[in-house]
Amino acid sequence: MQRGNEVLKYSLAYINPRICAVDNGRVLGYDNSHGRHHRHYMGQVSSVKFPGYEAHVERLRQEVSELWRHEDEQKR
């Protein structure tokens, strides 16, 4: 949700219940619910700085690409 150029609320996630059985299948995600910016990874939650919405989108994209690369390597 945005007001002008300000991001008010966001939630970004990579969900795959075959990889992560906890947190409703959320393997990786970023959001600002509960009044703070945080990162979800395989059921663990940690606070993160908010460099901007676009930076979080790019970080998630890069991390998901790395996870997919690792998954592909394990299949071989």
According to the model, what pLDDT value does residue 2 have? Answer: 57
Q: Count up the domains in the chain and report the number.
A: 1
Does residue 18 sit within a domain?
yes
Instruction: Please report whether residue 50 resides in a domain.
Output: yes
pTM equals 0.84
Residue 48 falls within a domain, yes or no?
yes
Q: Which structural domain, as residue segments, surrounds residue 67? A: 10-75
Q: What share of the chain in percent tops pLDDT 90? A: 72
**In-domain check, residue 49:** yes
pLDDT, tens only, 27-44: 999 999 989 999 999 999
Nearest to 38 by CA among 27, 49, 26, 54: 49
pLDDT at 75: 78
Residues of the chain with pLDDT under 70: 1-4
